[in-house]
Chain A
Amino acid sequence: MEYSSLLFIYGFFPVSLILFHITPKRLKEVMLLLLSIVFCSFFGVRYLICIAAYVLFNYAAARLTDALRKKSAVLCFIPFALGMMFDIFVLFSFRTERFSVVYRALRLHEGFFPVGISLFTLSALGYLIDVFNGRLRSEKNIVRYSLYIMMFPRLLMGPVLRYDTFRRIMNSRSSGTQELGKGLTLFIKGLAKKVLAADTLYALYIAVRSYDTRDMSAVTAWLGITAYVLCLYFTLSGIADMGVGIGYCFGFRFPQSFNYPMFSSRIRYFAAKWHVQVIHWFRNYITKPFASSMRNRYLNKLIFIGAWTVTGFWYGFTVSSALWGALMGTAIVVENKLRNSRMLKATGIIYTFLLVTVFSVFLASDTVSDGLAYLLAMIGGNRSLTDGLTLYLLRSYLVVLLVTMYASTDLFRNMLVRSGRQLLRKIFSAVTPVVMVVLLAVCTALISSSGSSGMLLLRL
């Protein structure tokens, strides 16, 4: 069940809100876990069994690691290593096609995919590492640990949180109509990002990709990859916003994952605003531990690029997506070298957007050679600048592209904040409830024929 489905918006969500709010305080987490179990069961009982087994194994591994840590460093390494290997094996099994033996052993059909596995594996791995390092005591409360992995507002798109952050948020729950309003506003914004922006951009992207890259004109190729980058942003941030919004409705203030990265003036700003908690995870658990043990500047930079390469690999589990990560890491390193360059200052937003778009070709491609062929088309290597398809796509989607580009920036928010005019803010505040209802109605109309908006550019 997607957040952007009629069944969720008009069925599961309101019912779960009511059930949660009428449950006595001490049982609220149990109720939330029950609701998460029901949510998971919509993906199938096999999925539910898989995630339950995953939770139990990780819970046991962390408890054992913690219990043995004071007795013997060697002994506590065993459950820690087993837990790590299990998590990584499970992640590879479901995200690559090289472990079909797992599918056969568990009698899973070919299309089975444990939704959210990439995200909750990061959570589980980070928690195990923190327990092993002594940064955290293991959680005794299995209900709360289960929520850490499978709580339904976080299941599909995170945010990936360190366990102590998660615990703090769970302990400082605040509920009320105001929180509900904030949550619903965030949810509807996310829904609109997904249904209005991402789904439309996906139609443009798929129209371009259905064409043979070898026959593609340069402008068509640029249109396609621009649509891809924007679609990826609106899909991931839309689902993440919906999740955070749902969390707010239940009183949990989870942080947002995307902070208007698209038209940043530097690559490093883009990196700092894109999928914030995931990028932080790789920094905290890969870059920092390795870099802290190295004195050599150049080696540190290599480690930095390596961590980005792993980040890229995590997104797509292909060599091509790893190359995207490597290029991003390299670009940040080079940019830091040229920090004071006038050229950078003059071309900030344009060069950042161009580089991000060009690198994304590898994230969008299955193989490096596909990516290179697409890049060739983008620079006019097919000896065609425009064609009939370009004109058709421009006619149909130019307005969409421009509007979504604007919507992906923080220009509107900044305008409100910086305007200093109280009247403008008051007007905006007054119309917000109406705008939210209209947006919800428009999204409902758009998903009414299929019942949901299931398009996912990346399965995480």
Chain B
Amino acid sequence: MKNITSKLTAVAVLTFIAFFGAASLAPCDNSEKTVIPALTWDNIADGGFGSGLSSLAAQHFAFSDSWRSVGSRIDSGISGSIVNSVYIADDRLIAADISERESTDECAEIVNAFADSYNGAVYFAAVPTSAGVYGDALPSHLSRVTEKQQTDRFYEQLSGDIRRVDAYNLMKMLSDDRIYLRSDTKWTMYGAYCLYRTVIQKLGSQPVSFDKYTIRHVTNEYRGDLYKRTLYMKCEPDILDIYEYPDGAQVTECVSVGNDGREHDCSLYDTDALGSDDMYRLYLGERQPLVRITTDVNNDRKLLLIGSECAAGFVPFLTQHYSEITVYLPEYADRPLSDFADLNDYEQTLFLFGIDAVKTEILEKTEMR
């Protein structure tokens, strides 16, 4: 009996392995996202090529989405509410990576140096992530160093002439509203609007009231990064909105500048992105290091907005107040800001960063040369 069992086990398991091994060799749907490890000496010598191949195998594995979905169900069944470092709360997914937060002291020094060499006014808004606002739902061991503590520490290190926006407390106060996406760490357009009301007053203008906007729900099928990490189907998809102010100022030109210096037409809302894998690109389209927006506002005011991903959803609200807005996204730039724009052209600079994006390697691209 034992012999037959062993033989049957061999046949069954080898068939299973052969089937999925062979099926993984077939071209897959997401082949455009496949990252093939670079065949460089450093990569081969240090094992990066081997681990790259391992990642490639995971990306290319047959029926990978189904496997991951089943895996997340098993995971949540076994160990409760945490799957792939994402906490599954009653109504949303919350990033729950247990990692030491990077010290922001050096980042503050970079921003201070920027302010010292800049003639205009500098503003900084450090925006919490959904984990910062809804962190109370996390088990206590996952929320030791809060984003509030991190933000407070960072703001303390900024020099006195930089004006700070208390985004954390504002978003925390509004946490019962739909200000963050359920399946992502990012904010909703309404969340961006809420912060805009505060920021624009600091910048010296009056905000446009909420009832003047026409809101369009362009999709109710958005699944964000946190969903992609868990594939937790019970978390409902999010709605993405477009805010339009028909009676307000209009954008006359929107141009993005790539790392190669080439300019392309773009728009505040790129609805083509809704058909892509990353629908959040709806806001400001394909990410480029620089976007220049010209409006028909007749006041000659120019704003330099230096930001992270969250800035993309913020820009549409600013178009009512400036004749020109330049958005610099250092995360996507391979060159410093000074290669893209002349700072003397702007009387105001707003730093709008998710607190998770306040990192030295990102901010150092704003250093003046």
Q: Which residues of A contact B (CB under 8 A)?
A: 1, 5-7, 9-11, 13-14, 41-47, 109, 112, 177-182, 184-185, 188, 196, 200, 203-204, 206-208, 210-211, 388-389, 392, 395-397, 400, 425-426, 429-430, 432-434, 436-437, 440-442, 444-452
Q: Which residues of B contact A (CB under 8 A)?
A: 1-14, 16-18, 20-21, 24, 44-50, 53-55, 57-59, 61, 64, 67-68, 70-72, 74-75, 78-82, 84, 98, 139-142, 144, 229, 231
Known: A43-B50, A445-B70, A448-B68. A181 touches B17 (CB 8 A): no
Q: Do residues B79 and A400 form an inter-chain contact, with CB atoms below 8 A?
A: yes
> Which residue of chain B has its CB nearest to the CB of A115?
B47
Q: Do residues A210 and B16 form an inter-chain contact, with CB atoms below 8 A?
A: no
Task: List 9 interface pairs A-B (beta carbons < 8 Å), by A numbering.
Answer: A46-B45, A182-B6, A184-B13, A207-B98, A210-B98, A433-B12, A437-B16, A440-B13, A448-B68
Q: Do residues B9 and A442 form an inter-chain contact, with CB atoms below 8 A?
A: no
Chain B residues positioned under 8 Å from A436 (CB to CB): 9, 12-13
Q: Do residues B50 and A44 form an inter-chain contact, with CB atoms below 8 A?
A: yes
Q: In the complex, how many angstroms separate the beta carbon of B163 from the nearest chain A beta carbon?
A: 36
> Which residue of chain B has its CB nearest to the CB of A435?
B9
Q: Do residues A10 and B1 form an inter-chain contact, with CB atoms below 8 A?
A: no
Q: Do residues B7 and A177 form an inter-chain contact, with CB atoms below 8 A?
A: yes
Chain A residues positioned under 8 Å from B74 (CB to CB): 442, 445-446
Which of the residues A389, A430, A446 comes within 8 Å of B75, measured between beta carbons? A446
A138→B74 CA distance, assembly (Å): 51
Which of the residues B9, B21, B72, B231 comes within 8 Å of A181, measured between beta carbons? B9
- Nearest 7 CB-CB pairings of A with B: A451-B58, A181-B6, A396-B80, A44-B47, A42-B50, A448-B67, A181-B10
Chain B residues positioned under 8 Å from A1 (CB to CB): 50, 54
A268→B72 CA distance, assembly (Å): 41
Q: In the complex, how many angstroms separate the beta carbon of B322 from the nearest chain A beta carbon?
A: 43
Known: A181-B7, A425-B1. A449 touches B57 (CB 8 A): no
Chain A residues positioned under 8 Å from B140 (CB to CB): 388-389, 392
A93→B49 CA distance, assembly (Å): 25
Which of the residues A14, A41, A112, A446 comes within 8 Å of B17, measured between beta carbons? A14
Q: Do residues A10 and B79 form an inter-chain contact, with CB atoms below 8 A?
A: no
A180→B67 CA distance, assembly (Å): 26
Chain B residues positioned under 8 Å from A445 (CB to CB): 67-68, 70-71, 74
Q: Do residues A11 and B57 form an inter-chain contact, with CB atoms below 8 A?
A: yes
Known: A433-B5, A445-B68. A177 touches B11 (CB 8 A): yes
> Which residue of chain B has its CB nearest to the CB of A204?
B79
A47→B6 CA distance, assembly (Å): 36
> Which residue of chain B has its CB nearest to the CB of A196?
B78
Q: In the complex, how many angstroms separate the beta carbon of A188 from the nearest chain B beta carbon?
A: 7
Most buried by A among B6, B7, B18, B72: B6
Chain B residues positioned under 8 Å from A179 (CB to CB): 6
Known: A10-B17, A450-B58. A397 touches B80 (CB 8 A): yes
Q: Do residues A448 and B58 form an inter-chain contact, with CB atoms below 8 A?
A: yes
Q: Do residues B54 and A452 form an inter-chain contact, with CB atoms below 8 A?
A: yes
Q: Do residues A210 and B54 form an inter-chain contact, with CB atoms below 8 A?
A: no
A5→B89 CA distance, assembly (Å): 29
Q: Do residues B141 and A211 form an inter-chain contact, with CB atoms below 8 A?
A: yes
Which of the residues B14, B54, B72, B75 comes within 8 Å of A7, measured between beta carbons? B54
Q: Do residues A185 and B17 form an inter-chain contact, with CB atoms below 8 A?
A: no
With contacts A41-B44, A180-B14, A388-B140 known, what are 6 further pairs, Cβ within 8 A? A10-B20, A42-B53, A177-B11, A207-B141, A426-B1, A449-B72
Q: Do residues A6 and B50 form an inter-chain contact, with CB atoms below 8 A?
A: no
Chain A residues positioned under 8 Å from B24 (CB to CB): 10
A112→B139 CA distance, assembly (Å): 34
Q: In the complex, how many angstroms separate the beta carbon of B230 from the nearest chain A beta carbon?
A: 8
Most buried by B among A43, A433, A437: A433
Chain B residues positioned under 8 Å from A429 (CB to CB): 1-2, 4-5
Which of the residues B8, B14, B78, B141 comes within 8 Å of A14, measured between beta carbons? B14
Q: Do residues A178 and B6 form an inter-chain contact, with CB atoms below 8 A?
A: yes
Q: Do residues A184 and B9 form an inter-chain contact, with CB atoms below 8 A?
A: yes
Q: In the complex, how many angstroms separate the beta carbon of B7 from the nearest chain A beta carbon?
A: 5
> Which residue of chain A has its CB nearest to the CB of B18?
A14
Chain B residues positioned under 8 Å from A11 (CB to CB): 21, 57
A94→B21 CA distance, assembly (Å): 36
> Which residue of chain A has its CB nearest to the CB of B16?
A437
A437→B11 CA distance, assembly (Å): 10
Q: Do residues B54 and A6 form an inter-chain contact, with CB atoms below 8 A?
A: yes
> Which residue of chain B has its CB nearest to the CB of A111?
B46
Known: A180-B10, A433-B5. A6 touches B57 (CB 8 A): yes
> Which residue of chain A has its CB nearest to the CB of B8?
A433
Q: Do residues A396 and B81 form an inter-chain contact, with CB atoms below 8 A?
A: yes
Chain B residues positioned under 8 Å from A9 (CB to CB): 17
A7→B72 CA distance, assembly (Å): 20
A6→B25 CA distance, assembly (Å): 13
A185→B327 CA distance, assembly (Å): 58
A452→B11 CA distance, assembly (Å): 24
Q: Do residues B46 and A177 form an inter-chain contact, with CB atoms below 8 A?
A: no
Q: Do residues B54 and A10 form an inter-chain contact, with CB atoms below 8 A?
A: no
Known: A43-B50, A388-B140. A185 touches B9 (CB 8 A): yes
Most buried by B among A196, A200, A451: A451
Q: Do residues A451 and B54 form an inter-chain contact, with CB atoms below 8 A?
A: yes
Chain B residues positioned under 8 Å from A211 (CB to CB): 141
> Which residue of chain B has its CB nearest to the CB of A388?
B140
A13→B20 CA distance, assembly (Å): 13
Q: Do residues B61 and A44 form an inter-chain contact, with CB atoms below 8 A?
A: no
> Which residue of chain A has its CB nearest to the CB of B67?
A448
Most buried by A among B20, B48, B71, B231: B71
